[in-house]
Amino acid sequence: MRWLYLFAFYLGCSLFSHALGAQTVVLESGVSIDGAICIDAESGNVLLEKQADLLGHPASVTKLMTLLLVLEDIQAGKTSLTKPITITAEAARQGGSQVWLAPGESFTTEALLYAMMLHSANDASVALALNRENSVQNFVQRMNQRAQELGMNRTHFVTPNGLTYGAGPHDTTTARDLAKLAQTLCQFPEALTLSGKKDYLFRPGSRSVVLDNHNHLLNSFPGCDGLKTGWTVAANASIVTTAKVNGRRVIAVVLGCKSEQGAKPSQRARDRLAADLMNNGLRELGKVTPSVALPVATTKVPLALSKSTAKEDSFWDFLDDIF
């Protein structure tokens, strides 16, 4: 059940309490979320949270577990970034956001990872899953097993990419569980390289596609270098993002952000909340010096949805962000 505190002060803002009772999050009127959390990436200590154990649907944030399994296989010597992967018909017929893979094409693991992380390509995600296991179902079983090993006890995956429709079933998780996944991923430099790149030329040649990263905080929040956004009709807008300032890294998760105004306002609200989670999380750590130009929070104490990181997007950006 989603929470929504109505008009509290100013022009229709609402607030909820920080877990420690000392700070508050300010939400815009008509905006709700399934959960939010900010943690210290090094220790895992919770800096800020609200309803972090409520269930929600992660949409394309699901791809972070696919990324982790591939990177762990690379670390174990079972595959490599340069390994060629031949595209199957099953991978090519995926809908939603895609890079229009065709059966018989071949790409390196690295290229498909960039497609999955920057462009949220569902076809690339399935291609990677099928390369690591003999069926998508077996790969999803691996995802769920790894989730349990990481203590993601309220998480259940049904896809390698978060692409679900209608009544589902849908991938299900919590903000706290996603923070645990992100903390593990941040131990892999490759994860930040892949998710922090702002653009990538995929399939060089006559059918090339320039992939732009869907995480707009990479351009607006100092020190932000990952990780993944997601949106579907069923799941609303989610993000797992991270920033490193003065040697200290924080991870912020916003799950299931919904604006009454529609999809793009939901995504912009998600980004603003994630930015303020990181901003105030870094201040909570007490390691931010005046030389670091962080976005200005609405107040010194409350964790707020500031307007500083809002970005107007085009119709084409909207199409790219679907799934």
Write down the residue that tokens 């229709």 correspond to: 12
Q: What is the pLDDT of residue 29?
A: 72
Residue 28 has pLDDT above 80, yes or no: no
- Cβ-contact 128, 65 below 8 angstroms: no
In this prediction, what percent of the chain has a pLDDT beyond 70? 80
Pairing of strands 24-28, 236-245: unpaired
pLDDT tens digits for range 237-264: 999 999 999 999 999 999 999 998 899 9
Catalytic residue numbers read 60, 63, 120
DSSP-assigned letters across all residues of 10-45: TTTEEEEE-TTSS-EEEEETTEEBSEEEEEETTT--
CA distance 103 to 57: 30
Q: What is the pLDDT of residue 153?
A: 97
pLDDT tens digits for range 275-314: 999 999 999 887 544 344 445 443 222 333 332 233 334 3
Closest CA to 79 of 104, 113, 103: 113
Neighbours of 181 (CB within 10 A): 27
Topology of domain 13-321, CATH? Beta-lactamase (3.40.710)
Where is pLDDT greater, at 317 or 36? 36
Q: What is the pLDDT of residue 312?
A: 37
pLDDT tens digits for range 51-85: 999 999 999 999 999 999 999 999 999 999 999 99
Q: What is the pLDDT of residue 167?
A: 87
Residue 198 has pLDDT above 50, yes or no: yes
DSSP-assigned letters across all residues of 126-160: HHHHHHHSSSHHHHHHHHHHHHHHTT-TT-B-S-S
Residue 261 DSSP class: T
Q: What is the pLDDT of residue 318?
A: 37
Q: What is the pLDDT of residue 22?
A: 27
Q: What is the pLDDT of residue 166?
A: 87
Interacting residues of 253 by C-beta distance below 8 A, sequence separation 6+: 35, 36, 37, 38, 52, 175, 176, 178, 179, 182, 238, 239, 240, 241, 274, 277
- Cβ-contact 68, 247 below 8 angstroms: no
Q: What is the pLDDT of residue 18?
A: 36
In this prediction, what percent of the chain has a pLDDT beyond 90? 75
Domains in the chain: boundaries: 13-321
Lowest mean pLDDT among 11-25, 140-154, 218-232: 11-25
Q: What is the pLDDT of residue 4?
A: 31
Average pLDDT for 134-142: 98
